Chain A
Amino acid sequence: MPTSPDEIERLRESEARLRSIVESAVDGIIVIDARGRIEAFNPGAERLFGYRADEVLGLSVSILMPQPYRDEHDGYMARYLETGEARIIGIGRDVTAMRKDGRTFPVHLSVGEMSLDGERKFTGILHDLSARVQMEDRLREQAALARLGEMAAVIAHEVKNPLAAVRGAIQVIGNRLPAGSREVGVVADIIARIDTLNQLVKDLLLFARPPQPRLLPLDVSLVLEATAALLNQDAAHAGMHVTITGQAPPVMADAELLKIVFINLFVNSSQAMKGHGEVGVTIAAGDGACVVVVTDTGPGIPAAARERLFTPFFTTKSRGTGLGLSTVKRLLEAHHGSIELESPETGGTRATIRLPLANP
């Protein structure tokens, strides 16, 4: 035990130094006891998890973990204390942590063991990996899309050429059939199937190799009106009533690509409403962006589908490629824009699209 005042002063200074190191650390530092209760929670940990230290001191560290790790933690601790079998202690690994608001995030966790006054304690240092993991995900996605793009180009050529051959030949043969014969109808059906197949290849190409947008200042309301009018000509969507309100200064966009975006959204709404119902479109400007909100009176997005709306090839329709919304997202991102989809409690589906203004 220290006795002299000098020694006490030195110890106090030393403790203050250590404390400031712990408190200024960017990484989260958490100390737990042998039963897993939190004894120290530095400001870095507060930032990571969204808890104040006084909210978590004394609680089980498992509250910082999502399931199933939360339930497994106590058993893991007990096994370690009993057998010394370590999975993280003394090693460190990438794990998933959970914030106060329930969101999970990736961290690198390293745990050291110490003995204080004969009691075993564990110090965990947590380094946030969110940015790195996000970047890795983005790079992986870009690489996958680039590969898909190359594949799609080859497939497009190797499929469209034979389609052209079959379509042309069957059309010539059809022209030579006696007018009114049954085979004339069959030939028309064959051509329709070929066109469906061609549309599938075109959809795949549009997603996998979207054209570079040719950006020009344009009035988004004109594109919306033209798109709604176009769809209303189609018997399947004639019962959909689109009302466009509000206005915004011109956006920088490619009119043709924007049309594809709105066609996809309107068709989704129309199909959700079984071809009949109201679609409301509001246009507004804010934060240098044009904000277009499209709402419908359909049944909304099924809960099971919400996480995967923009996943290519995911679909809830019995017939469909699952490329519509993922293409919409890709096209908007190519415009430096964005889309969010939600099902408000008031019902229906709401799509919020942001596009950069020509003169922000």
Chain B
Amino acid sequence: MSVIAVAEYPEMSPQMAEKSPPLQVLVVDDEPLIRWSLVEALGDRGHLVDEAGDGASAVNLLADGRRFDVVLLDYRLPDSNDLQLLEMIRNLSPGSTVIMMTAFGTPEMVEGALRLGAYRVVPKPFDVHDMEKLVAEAPRPARGI
């Protein structure tokens, strides 16, 4: 699947695809269409994608011992409207690269998120291919357990 994808998107070099083995990805967003888009697009790239519709579900997955290489985390969720959830995810799963998504990011919020260890803050609406690239290039520290 990923070989075909490389042929479709010449801007993504074969080397890049090679360096991008299947990753465990968690998409946290309350908008089902956004979850669907990211699950499908990243799935097409060969990644293994889980999804959560709110902060509590995401935290439960991590608390149950699930480990993700990359977490795509919406800033505003039904049960979260600040950076506490990010902090909690960073504590529960320090090895995960967290990419935040936001429909309305103030410079203060972006700085706060980066300070708490978010890898990037991506404004909504985003280009799905950009998200694929970000996930592929995200730093992957040696996975624990």
- In the complex, the answer to whether A153 meets B41 with C-beta atoms within 8 Å is no
A212 to B103, CA, bound (A): 19
A163 an interface residue at 8 Å Cβ cutoff? yes
CB distance from A158 to the nearest CB of B (A): 8
- In the complex, the answer to whether A156 meets B104 with C-beta atoms within 8 Å is yes
**Chain B, 33-60, contact with A by CB distance < 8 Å: what is the 0/1 string?**
1101110110010000000000000000
Residues of chain B contacted by A175 (CB below 8 angstroms): 8, 41, 44, 128
Query: Could you list which residues of chain B lie within 8 angstroms of chain A, going by C-beta atoms?
Result: 8, 31-34, 36-38, 40-41, 44, 76, 101, 103-104, 106-107, 123-129
A214 to B111, CA, bound (A): 13
A102 an interface residue at 8 Å Cβ cutoff? no
> 27 interchain pairs (CB within 8 A)?
A156-B103, A157-B103, A160-B104, A160-B125, A161-B34, A161-B124, A162-B31, A164-B101, A164-B124, A165-B32, A165-B33, A167-B125, A167-B126, A167-B127, A168-B37, A168-B38, A169-B37, A172-B36, A172-B37, A172-B40, A172-B41, A175-B41, A175-B128, A194-B125, A198-B125, A205-B104, A211-B107
Residues of chain A contacted by B37 (CB below 8 angstroms): 165, 168-169, 171-172
Residues of chain B contacted by A214 (CB below 8 angstroms): 107
**Chain A, 242-273, contact with B by CB distance < 8 Å: what is the 0/1 string?**
00000000000000000000000000000000
Residues of chain A contacted by B41 (CB below 8 angstroms): 168, 171-172, 175
A25 an interface residue at 8 Å Cβ cutoff? no
- In the complex, the answer to whether A168 meets B33 with C-beta atoms within 8 Å is yes
Of the four ranges (under 10, 10 to 19, 20 to 34, 35 or more), the interface on chain A belongs to: 20 to 34
A163 to B103, CA, bound (A): 9
**Chain A, 144-176, contact with B by CB distance < 8 Å: what is the 0/1 string?**
000000000100110011111111110110010
